[in-house]
């Protein structure tokens, strides 16, 4: 980790306090430090320190020169000196770096004390908030998926240098390495005195799983500067990768004289191989873009960047890939994924899970690997530390996994490795897991069993997995649920109000019992009633500027469908409304599309088209005074963004 992560984040985070020393050595060292020649700068700083010179700035830069090369034992010495000697001058960020350093050394008690001090000084920082909200983070991480992975340090391809960023491609493993290739000119990066990164390849044995001797991937893609982190299109015709800002022999810098990272793209032409790489249109000389990752259908490109709008030192961003090959405008994936720390090295699995490395979320030390579901609303996303043994007290990153085979790779600079960073292969063990979901349907008031109720098991996408009628004793049971997934079990019966329970299955075999209590309908449904109110529906959300039915919206629509099936002559009118923000005509058109999409979904679930109609009303029927240009709160606008299901015939 002594180069690849920090070359993205520290380029923009080493602000520090300007040294006031007038001595020529300090000035010379500062210039090297500002150029990220940490090893050269460190030699001078150590010489000055050994002669008795002290300052907060000197201790900060000495500690940082080790921290940004993942030499945590030495970094701890100088961060401790800094905080012990200049406590009143220490900026909050140095308490965070010291805490991360202590975690890497497994001194969790003192690391937590430093995070508490960080929280005291900078309580609004997401990293401080997450620490405060997760007092048992070490136990939670240690218990999650513990002992479910078998790890292998792939010594046949690792070197004594830095090897990381594995990607599977056409039976080969593509990765980045600083190994000395034995060329006539040995170019050294002054950050850590290692050669520049190039892309390498090794063939994976189909039966044995062994690896061939690594060789350079492609001379058109490798340059004399850094190349790393690749993402290949599913048809193998396109590769996205990270490189220094270097195109056609031109090495460019920003206005401060710093060379940034950029994402490049190359296509493979039949019989000609890979073309010369071209820049992505959203690159800039003034900020970095790096570490590309494609989703399963290649319609989105995730990456890390510190461009304007970034929350922390580096954030995860995403950009749409249009059908014509053009690109949309990059969008920050936002919180809770991104923090004021470093979020980097994204990877999208075929199942739609986003894996990424971060030092901003509670972890074991350094960068840890986390997973979440980016398809969910931000406030619904759960950020999960994948736990041991993937994560360690050191830096763990560039995680990839095949959801079907459960085999994957990642890189780490843990002490057991051969070099600065090693690539590890893992297999996720398939542990047998049998889930039985059972319970009874009973009358809420009398407690008597209810037979003949329709009981459904519904998965997180809103699909009905299976259903049955409750037995004479009200009992039901399902044996089709999977482990570690969210489900709904729902019971409905004519003349009763339905009941449902949301639950998540555990990661081990277990029987989950949920009793469902049905209450006789207190109010008859009348013409003019709004089912949204009667059924207490949750808001029907649509993605921004879209009108397709999301899984969470489908769950609410199933409640409407259930009532329509209970009352086979009922006819309803679906009405979609927006708030007043935006152009009136556009709001009217969008709401109409959403209403029509809602109607189509209900029809697709077995309701006759003659029983459901729908239209959009845009902002023409506001429920308050929040019209155009009104100064209203978000809560007031939310009242106007609504769906109605009006009964027009019983």
**Shared domain check, 21 and 113:** yes
Is residue 136 pLDDT above 80, yes or no?
Answer: no
d(CA 221, CA 240): 10
By residue range, what is the domain housing residue 469? 435-520
Question: What's the mean pLDDT in 161-185?
Answer: 86
Task: Please report, for the domain that includes residue 477, its CATH number.
Answer: 2.60.40.10
Give a yes or no: residue 143 inside a domain: no
pLDDT of residue 188: 52
Domain boundary among 491, 520, 549: 520
d(CA 481, CA 489): 11
How confident is residue 417, by pLDDT bands cut at 50, 70 and 90? confident
The pLDDT tens digits for 620-645 are 989 899 988 888 888 888 788 888 99
Task: Please report, for the domain that includes residue 71, its CATH number.
Answer: 1.25.40.10
d(CA 85, CA 602): 69
Residue where the block lists tokens 């993402």: 231
Is residue 15 pLDDT above 50, yes or no?
Answer: no
pLDDT of residue 194: 63
The pLDDT tens digits for 549-564 are 888 888 889 889 988 9
**Shared domain check, 95 and 11:** yes
d(CA 244, CA 239): 16
Is residue 374 pLDDT above 60, yes or no?
Answer: yes
Give a yes or no: residue 476 inside a domain: yes
d(CA 157, CA 437): 47
Measured between alpha carbons, how far is residue 370 from residues 128, 169, 301, 647 in Å? 18, 23, 18, 46
**Shared domain check, 276 and 158:** yes
Residue 197, token pair as written in the block: 């990164």
pLDDT of residue 545: 67
**Shared domain check, 452 and 307:** no
**pLDDT-above-90 percentage for the chain:** 51
3-state helix, strand, coil in the chain (%, to 5): 25, 30, 45
Is residue 13 pLDDT above 60, yes or no?
Answer: no
**Shared domain check, 334 and 185:** yes
3-state secondary structure of 380: helix
**Shared domain check, 389 and 485:** no
DSSP run (H or E) holding 646 = strand 642-649
Task: Calculate the CA dihedral of residues 22, 24, 25, 29 and round it to 10 degrees.
Answer: 80
* pTM exceeding the 0.85 threshold for the entire prediction: no
Give a yes or no: residue 525 inside a domain: no
Task: Please report, for the domain that includes residue 369, its CATH number.
Answer: 2.115.10.20
**Shared domain check, 204 and 126:** no
In terms of Cα–Cα distance, which of 557, 513, 514, 562 is closest to 538?
557
**Shared domain check, 543 and 490:** no
What does the DSSP assignment read for 1-47? Answer: -TTTTHHHHGGGT----------HHHHHHHHHHHTT-HHHHHHHHHH
282: number of CA atoms within 13 Å, CB side?
Answer: 23
Give a yes or no: residue 526 inside a domain: no
**Lowest-pLDDT choice from 138-147, 222-231, 325-334, 393-402:** 138-147
Domain boundary among 412, 428, 444: 428
Comparing 615 with 14, which gets the higher pLDDT? Answer: 615
What residues are paired with 397 via a beta bridge?
411
CB 164 within 8 A of CB 347: no
In terms of Cα–Cα distance, which of 5, 431, 548 is closest to 242?
5
pLDDT of residue 356: 98
pLDDT of residue 12: 42
**Shared domain check, 610 and 482:** no
The pLDDT tens digits for 421-469 are 999 999 987 667 889 999 999 988 778 899 999 999 999 888 899 999 9
The pLDDT tens digits for 199-250 are 999 999 988 889 999 999 999 999 988 999 999 999 999 999 999 998 888 8
Comparing 563 with 320, which gets the higher pLDDT? Answer: 320
Return mean pLDDT, the chain. Answer: 87
Tell me how many domains the chain contains: 4
Cα angle 458-464-470, degrees, rounded to a multiple of 5? 80
Task: Please report, for the domain that includes residue 631, its CATH number.
Answer: 3.30.1330.60
**Shared domain check, 541 and 461:** no
Domain boundary among 401, 428, 455: 428
**Shared domain check, 272 and 239:** yes
**Shared domain check, 195 and 158:** yes
d(CA 566, CA 110): 62
Q: State phi, psi for 40 to the nearest 5 degrees.
A: -65, -40
State in Å, rounded, how far the first CA of the chain is from the last one: 67
The pLDDT tens digits for 578-618 are 888 888 898 899 899 999 999 999 999 999 999 999 999 98
């Amino acid at each position: 980790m002594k180069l690849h992560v920090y070359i993205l984040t520290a380029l923009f985070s080493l602000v520090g306090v300007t040294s006031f020393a007038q001595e020529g050595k300090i000035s010379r060292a500062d210039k090297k430090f500002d150029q990220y020649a940490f090893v050269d700068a460190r030699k001078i700083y150590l010489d000055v320190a050994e002669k008795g010179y002290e300052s907060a700035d000197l201790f900060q830069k000495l500690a940082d020169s080790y921290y940004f090369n993942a030499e945590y034992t030495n970094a701890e010495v100088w961060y401790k000196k800094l905080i012990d000697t200049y406590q009143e001058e220490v900026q909050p960020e140095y308490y965070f770096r010291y805490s991360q350093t202590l975690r890497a050394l497994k001194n969790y008690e003192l690391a937590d004390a430093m995070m508490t001090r960080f929280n005291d000084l900078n309580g609004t920082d997401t990293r401080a908030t997450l620490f405060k909200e997760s007092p048992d983070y070490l136990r939670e991480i240690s218990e999650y998926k513990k002992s479910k992975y078998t790890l292998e340090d792939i010594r046949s391809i690792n070197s004594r240098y830095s090897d990381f960023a594995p990607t599977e491609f056409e039976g080969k493993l593509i990765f980045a390495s600083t190994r000395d290739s034995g060329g006539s000119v040995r170019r050294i990066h002054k950050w850590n005195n290692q050669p520049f990164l190039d892309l390498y390849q090794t063939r994976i044995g189909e039966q044995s799983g062994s690896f061939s001797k690594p060789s350079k991937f492609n001379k058109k893609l490798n340059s004399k500067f850094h190349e790393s982190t690749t993402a290949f299109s599913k048809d193998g015709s396109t590769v996205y990768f990270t490189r220094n800002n270097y195109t056609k022999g031109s090495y460019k810098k920003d206005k401060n004289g710093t060379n940034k990272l950029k994402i490049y793209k190359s296509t493979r032409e039949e019989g000609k191989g890979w073309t010369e790489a071209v820049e992505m249109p959203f690159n800039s000389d003034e900020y970095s873009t790096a570490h590309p990752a494609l989703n399963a259908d290649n319609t989105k490109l995730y990456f890390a960047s510190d461009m304007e709008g970034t929350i922390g030192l580096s954030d995860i961003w995403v950009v749409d890939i249009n059908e014509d090959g053009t690109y949309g405008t990059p969008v920050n994936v936002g919180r809770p994924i991104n923090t004021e720390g470093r979020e980097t090295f994204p990877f999208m699995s075929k199942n739609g899970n986003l894996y990424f490395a971060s030092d901003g979320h509670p972890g074991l030390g350094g960068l840890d690997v986390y997973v979440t579901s980016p398809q969910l609303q931000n406030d619904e996303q759960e950020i999960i530390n994948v736990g041991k043994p993937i994560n360690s007290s050191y830096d763990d990153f560039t995680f990839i996994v095949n959801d079907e085979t459960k085999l994957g790779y990642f890189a780490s600079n843990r002490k057991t490795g051969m070099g600065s960073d090693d690539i590890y292969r893992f297999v996720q063990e398939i542990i047998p897991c049998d889930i039985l979901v059972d319970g009874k349907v009973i009358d809420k008031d009398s407690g008597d069993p209810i037979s003949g109720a329709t009981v459904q098991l519904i998965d997180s996408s809103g699909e009905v997995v299976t259903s049955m009628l409750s037995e004479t004793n009200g009992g039901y049971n399902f044996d089709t649920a999977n482990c570690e997934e969210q489900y709904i079990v729902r019971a409905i019966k004519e003349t009763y109000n339905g009941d449902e329970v949301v639950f998540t299955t555990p990661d081990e075999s277990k029987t989950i019992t949920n009793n469902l209590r049905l209450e006789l309908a207190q109010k008859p449904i009348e013409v003019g009633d709004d089912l949204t109110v009667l059924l207490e529906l949750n808001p029907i959300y649509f993605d921004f500027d879209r009108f397709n039915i999301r899984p969470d919206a489908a769950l609410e629509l199933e409640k409407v469908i259930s009532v329509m099936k209970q009352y086979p002559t009922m006819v309803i009118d679906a009405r979609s409304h927006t708030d007043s923000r935006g152009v009136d005509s556009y709001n009217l058109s969008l709401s109409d599309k959403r209403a029509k999409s809602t109607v189509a979904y209900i029809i697709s679930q077995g309701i006759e088209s003659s029983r459901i109609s729908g239209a959009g009303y845009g902002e023409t029927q506001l429920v308050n005074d929040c019209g155009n240009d009104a100064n209203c709160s978000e809560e007031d606008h939310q009242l106007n963004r609504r769906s109605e299901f009006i009964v027009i015939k019983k």
